[in-house]
Structure 1
Amino acid sequence: MKPIRYTIVPKQPAAHLFEVTVTVADPDPAGQRFMLPVWIPGSYMVREFARNIVTLRATNEAGRKVRIEKTDKHTWQAAPVKGALTLRYEVYAWDLSVRAAHLDDTTGFFNGTSVFLSPLGHEEAQCLVDIQKPDGAAYRDWRVATALPEARGTKRYGFGEYRAQNYDELIDHPVTLGEFALASFKAHGVPHDIVIAGRVIGLDMARLSADLKRICETQIELFEPKSKKAPMDRYVFMTQAVADGYGGLEHRASTALICNRGDLPVEGRDAPTEGYRTYLGLCSHEYFHTWNVKRIKPAVFAPYDLSVENYTSLLWLFEGFTSYYDDLILVRSGLISQDDYFGLLGKVVGGVQRGSGRLKQTVAESSFDAWVKYYRQDENAPNAIVSYYTKGSLVALAFDLTIRAQTDNRKSLDDVMRLLWQRFGRDFYRGKPVGVEESEIEAIFAEATGVQLGELFAEAVHGTRDLPLDSLLAPFGVTLAPELEKNGKPSLGARVRGGADCTLAAVHDGSAAQKAGLSAGDVLIALDGLRVTGSNLDSLLSRYLPGAKVEVHAFRRDELRTAQVKLDGPDVARYKLAVSDKRPAARKARERWLAS
């Protein structure tokens, strides 16, 4: 099978247009079909990337026009031709996120799923892509950042030709274009690059490199404690720094990240900020995916079908367990303290407990319904769904503590991850890919640890009762308890959207607001005749006692409403984990949990 050749050029940065060509040397004699993915792996929502294709035409090798027609929302079919077939098309790129494509006169970014049409029937052919520089002196200093291997003498970070073994590899390497800060380090001998695009004043790349090195080496040692061998030959962290943003998307040898520029470390400031710890946790999360989901996969992802939704009930393991390990790796690598970790864990517990959706949806159901619920949340989401990320991380915690307690810390969740890696992940890209079947997960836990999780597994994964975290933490000398809002301030039982107006973003089940007939979207304008804004609601509520009755005036659309609200007691601000037992046995168990 002959290689598929692509070119991509930022043709009109000010108009946010990439121009892409794809040439098939040996098209289907019956008429070549092309498809653009409708979703990107790691983000489980149909996004219809084909809607951003603005123009498209086909030509034969003589340059003559070939008839091509669209057969469905993301598929095109060309008329039969002799010789090579080329498609030339424009892609509108104005999505500043980690999921799609973005282009202006300062920077460019794209995922292959947004820009590279796949010639159907040629998915296993080698792909060569020529990444070209935009015209003009303003782009003289632009460079290319990607984990794609260079081809034909292309220099690293230079424009030119890159290669991929097949289409799946091509679309698993995002690309950043423009001017960016760059640093490198080695983690157990493997080169890792850090790319920061966007304006950041006083960026401390030395500190970032040192901290990420510790994270990467800790994770490599978790999966390969003897060989300390990373699963890739090179890795790239690429971050877009913006005024307000957060997110990441994993790839087999890189990750695309977006963060607030203020969260990045500043030279001369030793104390890490909360924002920087959050950013490190994000990096840790996406790096852990190098093993868990990029190589250890659910069976339905081996391979992906990018034309339709791929349903699995295992995202609680692939995303939830990754969410458990992301912060745990920070404390294991010495980047945060035990108290810092307990604080982060308490926030997760509080976030899960605040939503009554946890009592209605299991993490298995949440995983399966990600396509229509988790990624399409509305104002009723806290009352209807549970996050397979956060609840999944608590499931991982419950399993880890149980295994450790029953084996006197001889076995742990680490052993489960290592078995999954050895059986499903280590050779994933070397032979026929094999994914994890949903029916074999519980048995894998027992095989790796000797512990039968039984009822705990059934309830944690397929039930809706709260996890018994307080009793599971007790053998490690740790207590878990709710902490109420300071000053005993009463509550409406609603979440308020930020802004000048006091708009209800969500109303919780059984809350004072719901009982009084208030709904998400209502704009509160007065409490007992005093004006309410987005910034003074807490102050006004603090003057009442729980159970007090308050007259609330609000607008629903353009209609004024009056409600009599009986205020709830104080909200739980967070859950606090604290060391309660400092005796040697508890201390040893706690140290083993947080250190290995």
Structure 2
Amino acid sequence: MRYSLAALLLIAGSPAAATVDYAIDLTSPEHHSSMVTATFPTTSAAFLDVRMPAWRTGRYSILNLANGVSDFVAMDGNGRPLRWQKIDKSTWRVHLDRPAAVNVRYALYGNELGYRSRHIDDSHAYLDASAVLMYAEPYRGDDVRVSLKVPSGWQSFSGMESAGPHRFVAPNWDQLVDSPIETGINTSRRFKVGAQEYELVVWGKGPYDIDKMASDLGRIAGAVPAYWPTYPFKRYVWMVHATSGAGGATEHRNSTVIQLPRAMFGDADGYRRFIATAAHEFVHTWNVKAYRNAAMVPYDYQKENYTNLLWVEEGSTEYFSWPLLLRAGLVTPAEYFDELSGLIDGNQHRPGRTVQSVAQASWDEWISPADAERSQNAWVNIYSEGQIVSWMLDLALLQQTGGRVSYRDVHRVLYERFPSDRRGFTDADMLAVLQELTGQSWVPWWARHVTAPVTADFNALLNPVGLQLTYPDGPKAWAGWSGKAAERGIALALVERDSPAWVAGLGAGDTLVAIDGKPVGKIEDLLAGRKPGDVVTVSYLRRDETMEKRVTLGTTRGAPKVVPVTAPTAAQKALFERWLLVPYPKA
């Protein structure tokens, strides 16, 4: 672990072994509030800086988590007030006239469910320590104890070791901050797969079958040895939120939180989304938590941690997750092919792929735009484009080594050589591993596909493994816009760069109200009966004024569909099976 000079000076005034105690009072949760007390050991330094992180792991953006803190006070071990001052947005400097322990207390507001940082209400609290518990750099490596005071009937879970009801311990703050707590009114199951123990805790009502969930999660866990030889944990906790709208997930050291609107558990597509998300987060237990890029070892919670390898951490994780589901028998090859079809369709309608590389997108993830038009037209996504580059690298490895080496082998080596509590890997490390495994340099490949914008040849990726890309819908008229119903028409959220609508001058924020004088309906019906080359007059609202544009419609091949080739060769079948570790689908 690296420390600044100031931190080293503070450490010099601190005991060699110490314990930091946290107490969280959640007994009045109705207004999303709690009281937090942190007790830091005696220090002889002139001051102690206590901090809230500015971001949390798994979400690469500055969240300014200190904004939930109020009513801050500081005292010594005898309860005498200590003078303090705020020196930046996330740091409280507590001054000491004599050696003393430092106790700080503050009120904390938690109503950020979708951020998966802190959420407190009358039924539960989800507590990610990065958004809840202040830390002091001199004691970051010391033992931690956490106690909760909760309403009657609540149950508490965490990846940390339990020290009794509603009490947890961790060997240092970094493990604490990577071990969120779920406490409240919930439903849970415990199960075992091999030597590992698992807990599933679900908060929120919904049409879910917790026993089926536990069984399927166990199947995911049991399929991992095809990818990594060992498990970096003895116990793992799945935390699931059945919500009223929030969705998403975040990986942690030996746990994860998954959020899904409660109604989605009741249909096949929604449940498939849950199980795919679960696979993604479980893969993160290795790729990101057990090993990760050097720029994030250790995490610096006060500022951006810049790296050009987030595409490996997110895109490669997504790339491995669906084959893991295949190995677990939770999806069929046809369902995986549909997933690939959607990935390809998204890529083909993302003009940003021609101007930004996955390395650049990784570096700039901290400032990635939220609006769809800017994101699609000038950026790439570290998840989807990172998945495509991972796919390209995997197939290149398989083809160049006759199936002997795959991208899985690269990640096995990263897992073995770069434990995240000691060191991280760089681009140069990955290139060295690739050369070691194959006996050839991958620097030219990296320059073409990672550090430069890449155009994927999907048929070249699919054919060697006995698959092909088809367009069953056939050519049809295309404008290049997307949006949703609004009060007075259809509000455009995106107009693809260089599309017919773009060339005509339409853009995000415009509201379509009529085409050729007829009021618009659903966006998918806007061009019904139109042919490529037709010229339509579009009436739209901009700045509350009605305007018109003439749009010359282009051609789209429609949605792509990945399917097996008609007569696969033995070589294609063999490479398919080496690629996904499942049998080639029967005709």
Q: TM-score range by the shorter chain?
A: over 0.9
Whole-angstrom CA distance in 2 between matches of 1:553 and 1:310:
46
Contact 1:24/1:86, CA 8 A, preserved across alignment? yes
Going from structure 1 to structure 2, the CA distance change for 1:196 and 1:574 (only over 3 Å counts) comes to farther
Whole-angstrom CA distance in 2 between matches of 1:574 and 1:244:
30
Give the corresponding residue for 1:461. Answer: 450
Map residues 78-477 of structure 1 onto 2, 5 A cutoff: 78-81=94-97, 82-134=99-151, 140-151=152-163, 154=164, 158-159=165-166, 161-201=167-207, 203-224=208-229, 229-264=230-265, 273-373=268-368, 376-425=370-419, 428-429=420-421, 433-450=422-439, 452-477=441-466
- SS of the aligned residue for 1:505 comes to strand
Question: What do residues 28-77 of structure 1 show as CA deviations (whole Å, max 9, x unaligned)?
Answer: 53011111100111211001001111221112223232221100110011
Contact 1:406/1:451, CA 8 A, preserved across alignment? no
Contact 1:245/1:258, CA 8 A, preserved across alignment? yes
Give the corresponding residue for 2:477. Answer: 490
Q: What displacement does 1:498 show?
A: 4.9
Contact 1:412/1:449, CA 8 A, preserved across alignment? no
- SS of the aligned residue for 2:302 comes to coil
- Residue identity opposite 2:187 in structure 1: A
Contact 2:469/2:560, CA 8 A, preserved across alignment? no
Contact 1:133/1:142, CA 8 A, preserved across alignment? yes
Pair 1:551-2:531 in alignment: no
- SS of the aligned residue for 1:358 comes to helix
- SS of the aligned residue for 1:69 comes to strand
- SS of the aligned residue for 2:242 comes to strand
Q: What displacement does 1:456 show?
A: 3.0
Give the corresponding residue for 1:269. Answer: none
Contact 1:524/1:555, CA 8 A, preserved across alignment? yes
For structure 2, which runs of at least 5 residues remain unmatched after alignment?
1-16, 583-587
Whole-angstrom CA distance in 1 between matches of 2:133 and 2:567:
57
- SS of the aligned residue for 1:463 comes to coil
Q: Pick which of 113-122 and 490-499 moved more.
A: 490-499
Q: What displacement does 1:183 show?
A: 1.4
- Residue identity opposite 2:390 in structure 1: A
Give the corresponding residue for 2:509. Answer: 521
Whole-angstrom CA distance in 2 between matches of 1:498 and 1:19:
44
Q: What displacement does 1:491 show?
A: 2.5
Question: What do residues 465-502 of structure 1 show as CA deviations (whole Å, max 9, x unaligned)?
Answer: 31233223322221124x27x47552221121355541
- Residue identity opposite 2:285 in structure 1: T
Pair 1:479-2:496 in alignment: no
Question: What do residues 149-199 of structure 1 show as CA deviations (whole Å, max 9, x unaligned)?
Answer: 112xx0xxx32x211111111110111121112112222220011111111
- Residue identity opposite 1:277 in structure 2: R
Question: What do residues 479-528 of structure 1 show as CA deviations (whole Å, max 9, x unaligned)?
Answer: 124x27x4755222112135554100011111121112111111111111
Going from structure 1 to structure 2, the CA distance change for 1:233 and 1:590 (only over 3 Å counts) comes to same
- SS of the aligned residue for 1:502 comes to strand
Contact 2:337/2:562, CA 8 A, preserved across alignment? yes
Question: What do residues 353-384 of structure 1 show as CA deviations (whole Å, max 9, x unaligned)?
Answer: 2110000000000000000126x445321000
Contact 1:416/1:449, CA 8 A, preserved across alignment? no
Question: What do residues 272-331 of structure 1 show as CA deviations (whole Å, max 9, x unaligned)?
Answer: 812212211111111111111112111111111111101000111111110100111111
Q: What displacement does 1:551 show?
A: 1.5
Contact 1:379/1:520, CA 8 A, preserved across alignment? yes
Whole-angstrom CA distance in 1 between matches of 2:485 and 2:18:
55
Question: What do residues 230-287 of structure 1 show as CA deviations (whole Å, max 9, x unaligned)?
Answer: 11010001011113332111111000110122333x6xxxxx8122122111111111
Q: What displacement does 1:345 show?
A: 1.1
- SS of the aligned residue for 1:434 comes to coil
Going from structure 1 to structure 2, the CA distance change for 1:220 and 1:304 (only over 3 Å counts) comes to same
Q: Aligned match of 1:591 in 554, 577, 581? A: 577
Q: What displacement does 1:222 show?
A: 1.8
- Residue identity opposite 1:91 in structure 2: L
Question: What do residues 117-166 of structure 1 show as CA deviations (whole Å, max 9, x unaligned)?
Answer: 112321111111111113xxxxx221112111112xx0xxx32x211111
Contact 1:489/1:541, CA 8 A, preserved across alignment? no
- Residue identity opposite 1:591 in structure 2: E
Give the corresponding residue for 1:32. Answer: 48
- SS of the aligned residue for 2:356 comes to coil
Q: Pick which of 579-588 and 384-393 moved more.
A: 579-588
- SS of the aligned residue for 1:223 comes to coil
- Residue identity opposite 1:206 in structure 2: D
Whole-angstrom CA distance in 2 between matches of 1:525 and 1:169:
54
For structure 1, which runs of at least 5 residues remain unmatched after alignment?
135-139, 267-271
CA RMSD of aligned residues (A): 1.9
TM-score (norm 2): 0.92
Q: Pick which of 570-579 and 65-74 moved more.
A: 570-579
Whole-angstrom CA distance in 2 between matches of 1:58 and 1:95:
26
Going from structure 1 to structure 2, the CA distance change for 1:509 and 1:474 (only over 3 Å counts) comes to same
- SS of the aligned residue for 1:65 comes to coil
- Residue identity opposite 2:18 in structure 1: K
Contact 2:337/2:561, CA 8 A, preserved across alignment? no
Whole-angstrom CA distance in 1 between matches of 2:564 and 2:261:
31
